[in-house]
Amino acid sequence: MAGGEIVFSGMRPTGRLHLGNYWGALKNWVELSRAHTCYFCVVDWHMLTTGYEDTAPLQDNIREMALDWLAAGLDPARCVIFKQSSVAEHAELALLLGMVTPMSWLRNNPTWKDQLQELAKTRVGLSASKPESVRIIPSLGVTSVGSAFVRPEEDEGDVERRLVSSEGNSEGNYGFFGYPVLQAADILLYGGTLIPVGQDQLPHIELAREIARRFNSIYGQVFAEPKPLLTPAPRVQGTDGRKMSKSYGNGIELAEGPESLKAKIMGAYTDPKKIRATDPGHPEPCPENPPGCSIFALHKLYNSDEYGKKGWRARREECMQGRIGCVACKRDLLTHLEGPFRDFREKRESIERRTGEVERIFDEGARRARAVAAETMKRVRRAMRLA
């Protein structure tokens, strides 16, 4: 653990991770931790900003995700791995940063607007069976809530009452609104300068910069300004051809067992126009097959230099020339997935067998994180004349 930059990143504990999480984030985290001072945080408080109702699976989800982090190669000897809720300074700093954060910055945050829509779609028990029946609820200032807000048994009056009630409000809660302030606190507590994130997080990092600047201009220089690190991560396609995402249910888990792995691969999206093995296929995204073939996308990752293989080019040629069928191509892919998936599962199981290992890693991480966070908070309190 050394190097010029301080790297901070976090993930909400959603449980087992999928290949998109690995190729899009984790793999890069592992590489960064070889050269920089890195903090990787399970942001369980951020999880609560939307998942506050059902916290029963939270502890399992944290553990499952941590096991995936460790099995993927994050090494507690090279980086600080910890839970946000173990370091109370995150809450203290978020509170204080809130004092200098204009509401308008938060309201204009595109991530907030998007997530608001997502929230509307994914609220428990909602169904789209009454299409378009609620368009405008003026009292809420909601111009289009779409059909996702409506439960089958409800009329519009019920919907409106539910939306204004504390549970089913249309804007999410105070904590959700303050999501980026908490995220800024995460980063600034450790002096994070390099923040590896996906494209969707750029507005949050920008907000963290602005909050840091505003704080510094009022109270004097305390915080370094964080920069996002966008890694040109390959887009990992899900088994239905769309982007791999937990909410689409099209994921392949890192810890996927051999049987379900095989079932998912054999059922995955390829090229709907390639009906017979001899039909010329369209492996890459193109007008004939806009999403591209999800199996080819996996050949490019696992049947490639990364694993000392180069079969993906041959598969592409054979596919385009109608010299291989999708079933054979899928079987071939499985032979390349077997090794990496087996290694991953074995590593994961061996960590799991060591009783108390995950807890020990979190405890040690929290201890190291707290030491740094406490120093930062001293400087913050002094700058604000709180001490």
Residue 90 makes contact with ligand TRP by CB under 6 A: no
Site for ligand TRP in 122-161 (CB under 6 A): none
Restricted to residues 190-209, the positions that interact with ligand TRP (CB under 6 A) are 195, 197, 201, 204
Contact 122, 54 (CB under 8 A): no
Which DSSP symbol is given to 37? E
Instruction: Name the amino acid, one letter, at 269.
Output: Y
3-state SS assignment for residue 100: coil
Cβ at position 329, least distance to ligand TRP in Å: 33
How many residues at the interface with ligand TRP, by CB under 6 A?
A: 14
> Which span (48-56, 115-123, 181-189, 214-222) binds ligand TRP, by CB under 6 A?
181-189
CB under 6 A: which stretch of 2-10, 65-73, 248-256, 316-324 binds ligand TRP? 2-10
Q: How far apart are CA 47 and CA 169, in angstroms?
A: 18
- Give the residue, chosen from 30, 42, 43, 380, that forms a contact with ligand TRP under the rule CB under 6 A: 43
Q: Which residue is listed with tokens 């200032």?
A: 141
CA 260, 243, 334, 62 dihedral sign is negative
At closest approach, how far in Å is the CB of 8 from ligand TRP?
5
Identify the H or E element spanning 83: strand 80-83
Q: How far is the CB of 184 from ligand TRP (least distance, A)?
A: 8
User: To which H or E segment does residue 380 belong?
Assistant: helix 357-383
17 touches ligand TRP (CB under 6 A): no
The answer to the question of residue 83 lying near ligand TRP (CB under 6 A) is no
Amino acid in the structure at residue 322: G
Stated length of the chain:
387
CA triple 327-328-331, angle to 5 deg: 90
Nearer to ligand TRP, 66 or 329 (CB): 66
Nearer to ligand TRP, 213 or 360 (CB): 213
Nearer to ligand TRP, 8 or 296 (CB): 8
Q: What is the DSSP letter of 338?
A: H
Q: Which positions touch ligand TRP (CB under 6 A)?
A: 8-12, 43, 46, 183, 186-187, 195, 197, 201, 204
